[in-house]
Amino acid sequence: MVVSKGKNPTAQETFLQMAQAAGLRGRLLVTVGVLILVRLGIYLPLPGVDRLRFTEIVRNNAVVNFLDIFSGGGLSLLGIFALGILPFINASIIMQLMTSALPTLENLQKNEGEAGRRKISQYTRYVAFVWGVIQSWGLGVWVQNSGVLSEASSNWITIGDGRVIFSSFIFQTTVALAAGSMFVMWAGELITEKGVGNGASLLIFISIVANLPASLGDTIALAQKDSSRVGGVILLLVIFLVMIVGIVFVQEGTRRIPIISARRQVGRKLYREQASYLPLRLNQGGVMPIIFASSVLILPAYLSQSINNEVFVAIASWMSPSGAGHIPVYMVLILGFSFFYSSLVLNPVELSQNLKKMGSSIPTVRPGKATSDYISGVLNRLTLLGSVFLCAIAIIPSALEKATGVSTFSGIGATSLLILVGVAIETSKQIQTYVISQRYEGMVKQ
């Protein structure tokens, strides 16, 4: 996308225009209404479970704490929406990997236009449903064998070690949780189409915000209980503020490549278009690489709790936050997903072709392959720099926890912080874009 240099409206002007835009008010109401509905759904309990006993069991469970990011505490509460948007996130990862591996899907995405993208979205929903059923069954098996049922389930089917793999409770749980995850997925798509912002991202955003008071309260209580931890808490707060500033800088950072536009002649005069540039973001993938990496990293631990297998247990222990493989695997996944997602967001070959069609070029760079190679080189360097920053942000909370002994901020760690800042920036930009388009529509009608 080529951007012309111009003056951006101030935050106050954007707010006033937003208040005056009737269409935007409707979209905001849809967004807020759907988010409230989803939040209420996590408090609808699964029948037959002693929730107090379950809460005690999962209080310090790393898998549950991570999955609660995507459900806003729904998993620890064991509500109907316990899985939240997670099946859709996992399905998106699977489909994006398959799109790059299968020529048929790649052709759908690149050459079939909007119809092809709708088809891929439909396939993503199917995968999300299947994955949601699998996760719901796994969660049902785990709850069944955790000894937290308030009443015995009938029609048990057990395996060699005595664990229950099917019962009426597991069946009901699978149906309820799978249906809940499909409803949350539909709610996210409704926000994307009829509301403001990306629905899936906003659902995760509101889930994190819902957990902030509890995390802050635990941290304050720890400082009051043990005065020796006060210094650690203050240091933690300062570093988190610095991290927020750094995240904003990286999320907003762009490399502007100047663009020369062809002159056009009107009569005897030559006119040159307004100076423009090609903005390449420092972090093309936004928050998605770290979300994908975290989802993959937690998968062995999730499987080890549902399937009592020595291999899964060993892998989960090695990749756990206290394990030796956690940081290196996390960093490799972030680097890999950063480059992978960057290739999906921006195609240098297509970009160079579009510039050539527009009669534009990069100074000192020949049109065609030389332009695509130049853009690809710049993009790779930016992606490497951005992914290294993401890796640093991801491992800082673990280092802080070991240095200060304060672990109650794990609920708003690297993943949560990146999502909060990234989604806030992207949503505000979309609102600003919508306000500007409304203003131009009003000018045309006049």
State yes or no: pLDDT of 110 exceeds 80: no
Whether residue 276 contacts residue 358, with contact meaning beta carbons closer than 8 Å, is answered with no
- How confident is the prediction for the chain on average, in pLDDT? 78
Q: Give the Cα separation of 381 and 386 in Å (integer).
A: 9
Residue 379 CB partners (closer than 8 Å, separation 6+): 280, 284, 342, 346, 348
pLDDT at residue number 306? 63
Residue-level length of the chain: 446
Q: Exposed, middle or buried by CB within 10 Å (0-12, 13-18, 19+), for 12?
A: exposed
- CA 255 to centroid of chain Cα atoms: 24
**Coil/strand/helix, residue 253:** coil
| Phi-psi label, residue 84: left if phi above 0, alpha if psi -120 to 50, beta otherwise | left
Check pLDDT > 60 for residue 232. Answer: yes
User: How far apart are alpha carbons 78 and 99 in whole angstroms?
Assistant: 34
pLDDT, residue 166, reads 67
Integer Cα distance of 394 and 388 in angstroms: 10
Half-sphere CA count of 49, side-chain side, radius 13 A: 30
- The three-state secondary structure class of 266 is strand
The DSSP 8-state label assigned to residue 408 in this structure reads G
Angle between helix 103-111 and 86-101 (nearest 10): 100
Max mean pLDDT among 337-346, 370-379, 393-402 falls in 370-379
Find the radius of gyration of the CA atoms of the chain.
Answer: 25
Model pLDDT, residue 127: 94
In three-state secondary structure terms, 368 is coil
pLDDT of 173 > 80? The answer is yes
Whether the full predicted model's pTM is greater than 0.85, yes or no, is: no
pLDDT at residue 4 in the model? 47
Instruction: Tell which residue, 171, 139, 143, 179, has the closest CA to residue 155.
Output: 171
The 8-class DSSP code of residue 45 comes to: B
Asked if 83 and 177 count as a contact pair (C-beta separation under 8 A), the reply is yes
> Which of 237-246, 255-264, 413-422 ranks highest by mean pLDDT?
237-246
pLDDT surpasses 70 at 268:
no
Max mean pLDDT range (104-108, 175-179, 228-232)? 175-179
The segment with the largest mean pLDDT, out of 258-267, 299-308, 352-361, is 352-361
In degrees, rounded to 5, the angle at the alpha carbon of residue 60 between the alpha carbons of residues 57 and 65 is 105
What domains are there in the chain, each with its CATH number?
Answer: 1-20+210-446 (1.10.3370.10), 42-195 (no CATH)
Which element (helix H / strand E) includes 301? Answer: helix 288-306
Counting residues of the chain whose pLDDT is more than 70, the rounded percentage is 78
Average pLDDT for residues 212-234, to the nearest whole number? 74
User: Do the beta carbons of residue 100 and residue 341 sit within 8 Å?
Assistant: no
pLDDT of residue 190: 93
Please state, in angstroms and rounded to a whole number, the distance separating the CA atoms of residues 359 and 263: 9
**Tens of pLDDT along 122-167?**
999 999 999 999 989 888 888 887 777 776 555 565 555 556 666 7
Q: What is the pLDDT of residues 286-323, one digit of tens each?
A: 777 877 787 788 777 777 766 666 777 788 778 776 67
Among 219, 247, 205, residue whose Cα is nearest residue 401: 219
The mean-pLDDT minimum among 285-289, 393-397, 410-414 falls in 410-414
Give me the mean pLDDT over the 17-26 stretch. 65
Confidence of residue 33 (pLDDT cuts 50, 70, 90): very high
* Top-confidence range, 178-187, 275-284, 306-315: 178-187
For residues 212 and 286, what is the distance between their CA atoms, to the nearest angstrom? 22
Which two tokens mark 98? 């398959």
